[in-house]
Amino acid sequence: MSKPLNITVCGAGAWGTAMALHCERQGMSTTLVARRPEQATQMSRERENTDYLPGHAFGSGLKVSSDLDEALGDADVIFLGAPSYALRDWCARIAQLESGILKSDALLVSLAKGLEVSSGKTPCGIIKEELPASIVGCLSGPTFAGEVAQGKPTAMTLAFGDDCGIQVQALQNAISGPNLRVYASSDLQGVELGGCMKNVYAIAAGCCQGLGLGDNALASLLTRAVAEMVRVGLDLGASLETFYGLSGFGDLVATCHGEWSRNRTFGEEIAKGSSAAEIISNQKTAVEGYRTAKAFHLACSSRSIEAPILEQVYQICYESKPPMQALNDLMTRDLKKE
């Protein structure tokens, strides 16, 4: 039998913590790295992440650290669990470590679902720019941290570009288990874009809910969101079928239904009269769809991609457009073929 993988998870928000819990339960040597030493100390003492994922005790084998040097040297796989807007900082910290500290075949796996506004880059685009020698991929799908931490079942997509080699297969096997079924993909761009776009559509779904528009409206929104995801994604170099998979349609459905999503809740609060900028300025947890809406607005405008839903969410978030007005503008566009 092959040796268990050594896993390091950088970023102790809800999702990084849930992935660390999962990896430890899968029997892997796992270290969770917090950005702030005081958070690492608190988690070591309490054996729980009370700030971001309360109520889920750490398994006895889960190590906690804030020392990147120590945590990365032995890692076969490094999950980057920070939000997209904090990813460049994490990568820069890793790049500053003594050269050669990372194993040459270590896999860097992004868990983030947002585009960088200044560059329009996906999380893996950022990682590749900051750490050009590394092997970079992402893991994405319908995975609310709280449910994964509870051990509820789900499925995900593990995507690496052209180097879907033996280490990637080893990772797919190592993290798959009775509660998580992991599929492999070589469409890294598509898997990342699906995860990023669904967060913007979740804001629209929250607006739908907040305005009390009903189930028909939500179903229509999600269906047209998939059509838009495909149109935007193809223009940005992704493959069609990826958007019908777990990181596209799957995560769209998860995020736009139920009570878990921060993006959906954000949309609901706007529809009830709060200002987007104000909510964000008081928000401790990640609402990736807010910045990502702006990044897609810039990308679609510069490439003349027609993306009416993304555009309306942008105007709601950045131009104080009332959600009811956005709905009206969507409904009264020129009619066309499905």
Ligand X SMILES: NC(=O)C1=CN([C@@H]2O[C@H](COP(=O)(O)OP(=O)(O)OC[C@H]3O[C@@H](n4cnc5c(N)ncnc54)[C@H](O)[C@@H]3O)[C@@H](O)[C@H]2O)C=CC1
Ligand Y SMILES: O=C(CO)COP(=O)(O)O
Contacts with ligand X by CB under 6 A lie at 11-16, 35, 52, 81-84, 86, 89, 111-114, 143-145, 285-286, 288
Q: Among residues 198, 272, 294, 321, which one is catalytic?
A: 198
Residues 62 and 30: their CA atoms lie apart, in Å, by 6
13 is in an annotated binding site: yes
Choosing from 66, 172, 255, 312, the residue that interacts with ligand Y (CB under 6 A) is 255
Quick one: 18 or 222, whose CB is closer to ligand X? Answer: 18
Residues 144 and 250: their CA atoms lie apart, in Å, by 12
Residue 336 appears among annotated catalytic residues: no
Q: Check binding of 113 to ligand Y (CB under 6 A).
A: yes
- The long-range contacts involving 171-177, CB below 8 angstroms and separated by at least 24 positions, are 171/5, 171/77, 171/107, 171/109, 174/4, 174/5, 174/23, 174/26, 174/28, 174/77, 175/22, 175/23, 175/26, 175/139, 177/25, 177/26
Q: Taking CA 125 as the corner, what is the angle to CA 300 and CA 53, rounded to the nearest 5 degrees?
A: 100
Quick one: 125 or 267, whose CB is closer to ligand Y? Answer: 267
Q: Check binding of 262 to ligand Y (CB under 6 A).
A: yes
Q: Which does 88 bind (CB under 5 to 8 A by kind): ligand Y, ligand X, none?
A: none
Q: Check binding of 144 to ligand Y (CB under 6 A).
A: yes
Q: Which does 261 bind (CB under 5 to 8 A by kind): ligand X, ligand Y, none?
A: ligand Y
CA dihedral angle for residue 257, residue 260, residue 266, residue 272, rounded to 10 degrees: 70
Tokens of 204: 């629209």
Taking CB under 6 A as the rule, which mask of x and - marks residues 235-254 in contact with ligand Y? Answer: ----------------x--x
Q: Check binding of 52 to ligand Y (CB under 6 A).
A: no
Size of the site for ligand Y (CB under 6 A): 14
Q: How many helices (H) and strands (E) does the chain have?
A: 15, 8
Tokens of 242: 């990826």
- Known binding-site residues for NAD(+) equal 11-16, 145, 262
Catalytic residue numbers read 198
